[in-house]
Structure 1
Amino acid sequence: MVKRYFLNNPFFCIIVLGLMVCLPSLSIDIYVPVMGSMARALLTSKASIQLTISVFLAGLAIAQLFSGFIADIIGRRTTLLFGLALYSVMSLLCSFAQSSDSILYYRILQGLGCSVIVVCAFAICRDLFEGESLTKTISYITAIISLSPAIAPIIGGFIASISSWRGIFILLAITGLFLLLMGYVFLPETLNNHKEAMPTKRAKLLDVYRSLLSNTRFLQLSLLVSVIYSAYFSYLYNASFVFESIYRQTIAITAGLMGLNAFALFLGSALAPSIVKRIGTQRAVISALFTIIIFSLVLTLYHAHFHTPSLAVFCSCMFLSTFSVAIIVPLMNSESLSAVNQHFASAAAFSGFIRYGLASSFGALIASFHLISVHLITASLLVASFLGLFLLKKAGLARQ
């Protein structure tokens, strides 16, 4: 009876699944404003704390390749509950960690759990809805995801101000346990047939990935999304340290500034359909790429003449660049999936593997520089935008 309530109430279903899909974004954005204080509390380098994002993304990427495969065999519900349990336990262990090495270990396992949750949540959406209902459901869930980066830094800053960075991970553990309880009580098994033999599934999976690797257009557009996504993470990796060390801002103000910038993600995602309706996908993406190039050059020139841009100039340029990123990523993600004729779920998972894997590797590279600089952020965005234009042309979307 309780599980039937979940099936018969789409709004409740969307809220629960939307909160689950928010966990990756929440797990990164909520503690970014306090990364500086984490480094000081654990007596470690800033690079070590930056790596906590990289390893989380690595776990998120790795699990993309097999979590959907497992969910097709043993069912969505069991796999999802396992992911939520793993996420909750690792979040709690992060809060008690006494060294950066411990957090790195817990974070990669937290990322694995998070990836399982997201893949299963979207699989449940596909099981329960179809056609226009599926499109609306995904749109509503995307809106919930877009709000998370704007709200999470503010929540993290507030929690840190009344306790410490450890309180943030305790909150993540409580959130995971709450969703685990909701899933256990309300979520039914939505997979109609998961009794197929594993060898058959494995053979199909290998065939699917082989076909995706031979799809040049899909790979080019997925790489475009991944490059822009990774460049945005150059901001996330450095923002907390830039605001605290260079601009001398408090944790509360840092959280507010990052929340304001993250609001650009929501704004860009919300306005993207209207922009596409007016000028088309091709022009929207090209315009967004040139917007990033222009404002990255503004920051670069400002940096060359005044050493460090003013806080107002930096925040304004990053807001507009982030707004552009929010337009490019969903549009090109949709285009990449349109290049695939079948196996959409596997294509989405493989695209996610490329995106999170590249972002993780890029973050590790940034951390290896041991450098906190506005110039590093702008250089990353500038290079990524030019590479994006190149990939867009190779994929045939930059032709008039």
Structure 2
Amino acid sequence: MPLRLLLILGALSAFGPLAIDFYLPSFPTLARVFATDVEHVQLSLAAYFVGLAMGQLAYGPLADRFGRRKPLLVGVALFSVASLACALAPSLEWLIAARFVQALGGCAGMVVSRAVVRDLCDPINSAKVFSQLMLVMGLAPILAPLAGGLLLSTLGWPSIFICLTLFSFICLLAVAKWLPETLTKDVPPAPLRGAIGEYKRLFANLPFLGYALTGGFAVAGMFAYIAGSPFVFIELYGIPVEHYGLLFGSNALGFIAVAQLNAWLVARHGPAYWLGKTVWFYLACGLALLMVALAEPQALWPLLIPLFGCIACLGILLPNASACAMAGQGRHAGSASALLGSLQFVIAASAAAMVGVLHDGSAWPVAVVIFACGLLAVGFSLFTRWAERSPSHVQG
């Protein structure tokens, strides 16, 4: 895939992580500005999550009916306008509504970028490209909060959303000028009235569902880690706040490194092979993490070792699960990408919420949720192997 196209897809994939992580340092400031508390400011994050889950399901059929470019251009433009509305927000209610609209625009890039990769690449090359795009997912949690904090301290909280406006506008120009239409015209466009039927077909496609859920429960472990690590690192083990980013970043670097290794591995045995092998290592790391957490060690480092293994595994699990799920979807790649993203996001958000529900002042909730995610990921990986070998799938 040409470097310019890869950079555009990487920028589109960054919309989600940037819009989430970029403004996190501004929560206390926003609470003071709008005369409220941080808990109410967090509703703006919840609104963004709801918009992501809903918007992806809408863009899939649109991308299959009208092509990849038109829905993408509309979505990126909507994200840009909504980002500017966030910067000009006179009240928290305005900010929450603008964040919801921002998510509806931003998820276009998430859906269409996966569909474009499927349009242009076979499963092995798709896994390689997805691995390269994982670089964005790994760097965003490291760089976005640091950049957001710098902007907050120097130019104020609106500058964060102004930067998102400028970034998305540049992406809009890049898409308009350099992103070709990748949906071939040899098959009639998928009618919008068949969108629900298409999603039903995908739910009935057991291999697709198995790969989507395998990846979904794998990424859910990462969301559980993101939700619970501030308490475990800072409150439970007394790590200074300024050092939290270093620990968080070291795990992200492991994720990035393994994702780049995966681009080399899949050329030898294919994405399904490495997905099936790595999911067991993910489960073993999750079990080790749970056993260490139950032992309640006095130091943090015994927890960090299996935790690093869990996060690093995702560099293989996520791109390969996406590549396998998207394989064979053809003209319906937009709907497949949308359902894949929505399923994985709902599962991951549920796992993060479960960490809060189980909170008991120890590291156990984070560990048990990650272990459960590993167990379910292995289960759905085995289910997928069975589904691919079943007579109904072979005949279909």
Aligned to 2:284, the other structure's residue is in SS state: helix
Within 5 Å, give how 1:232-247 maps onto structure 2.
232-240=222-230, 243=233, 245-246=235-236
- The number of residue pairs the alignment matches comes to 382
Equivalent in the alignment of 1:328: 317
Q: Structure 1 residues 166, 351: CA separation in 2 closer, same or farther (over 3 Å shift)?
A: same
With structure 1 as the length reference, what TM-score do the two structures score?
Answer: 0.77
CA distances 1:185-222 after superposition (whole Å, capped 9, x unpaired): 4455555659968xx61354344322222223432332
Within 5 Å, give how 1:210-249 maps onto structure 2.
210-240=200-230, 243=233, 245-246=235-236
Q: Matched residues in 1 for 2:231 and 2:152: separation?
A: 16
Aligned to 1:395, the other structure's residue is in SS state: helix
Q: Structure 1 residues 375, 64: CA separation in 2 closer, same or farther (over 3 Å shift)?
A: same
CA distances 1:264-312 after superposition (whole Å, capped 9, x unpaired): 221231233556758854222211221122123213322xx65xx53x4
Q: Matched residues in 2 for 1:283 and 1:193: separation?
A: 38
Equivalent in the alignment of 2:148: 156
Tell me how far 1:35 sits from its aligned partner.
Answer: 4.9
Cα pair 2:80 2:165 within 8 Å, conserved: yes
Q: Is 1:264 the equivalent of 2:278?
A: no
Of the structure 1 ranges 369-378 and 351-360, higher mean CA displacement relative to structure 2 is found in 369-378
Within 5 Å, give how 1:105-254 maps onto structure 2.
105-125=97-117, 129-130=120-121, 135=126, 138=130, 140-187=132-179, 193=185, 201-240=191-230, 243=233, 245-246=235-236, 252-254=242-244
Cα pair 1:53 1:360 within 8 Å, conserved: no
Equivalent in the alignment of 1:23: 15
CA distances 1:7-63 after superposition (whole Å, capped 9, x unpaired): xx9322322232122211222233445656655665655554555444323322222
Q: Matched residues in 2 for 1:250 and 1:162: separation?
A: 23
Cα pair 2:10 2:133 within 8 Å, conserved: yes
Equivalent in the alignment of 1:67: 59
Q: Matched residues in 2 for 1:13 and 1:206: separation?
A: 31
Equivalent in the alignment of 1:3: none
Q: Matched residues in 1 for 2:92 and 2:104: separation?
A: 19
Of the structure 1 ranges 273-282 and 233-242, higher mean CA displacement relative to structure 2 is found in 273-282
Cα pair 1:299 1:378 within 8 Å, conserved: yes
Unpaired runs of 5+ residues, structure 2, are: 388-396
CA distances 1:89-141 after superposition (whole Å, capped 9, x unpaired): 222333444665544333222221111123234445556x4559964655544
With structure 2 as the length reference, what TM-score do the two structures score?
Answer: 0.78
Whichever residue aligns with residue 372 of structure 2, its letter is: V
Equivalent in the alignment of 2:307: 318
Of the structure 1 ranges 35-44 and 11-20, higher mean CA displacement relative to structure 2 is found in 35-44
Q: Is 1:294 the equivalent of 2:283?
A: no
Cα pair 1:238 1:373 within 8 Å, conserved: no
Q: Is 1:57 the equivalent of 2:49?
A: yes
Whichever residue aligns with residue 262 of structure 1, its letter is: A
Whichever residue aligns with residue 228 of structure 1, its letter is: A
Whichever residue aligns with residue 192 of structure 2, its letter is: R
Q: Matched residues in 2 for 1:36 and 1:376: separation?
A: 26
Whichever residue aligns with residue 59 of structure 2, its letter is: S
Of the structure 1 ranges 228-237 and 188-197, higher mean CA displacement relative to structure 2 is found in 188-197
Q: Is 1:387 the equivalent of 2:381?
A: no
Equivalent in the alignment of 2:392: none
Q: Is 1:87 the equivalent of 2:61?
A: no
Unpaired runs of 5+ residues, structure 1, are: 1-8
Tell me how far 1:180 sits from its aligned partner.
Answer: 2.1
Cα pair 1:33 1:255 within 8 Å, conserved: no
Cα pair 1:156 1:168 within 8 Å, conserved: yes
Within 5 Å, give how 1:354-365 maps onto structure 2.
354-363=343-352
CA distances 1:303-357 after superposition (whole Å, capped 9, x unpaired): xx65xx53x4454443222112333233333344458698444323211111112
Indicate the percent of aligned positions where both proteins have the same amino acid: 26
Whichever residue aligns with residue 392 of structure 1, its letter is: S
Q: Matched residues in 2 for 1:38 and 1:244: separation?
A: 23
Q: Matched residues in 1 for 2:23 and 2:182: separation?
A: 34
Cα pair 1:73 1:195 within 8 Å, conserved: no
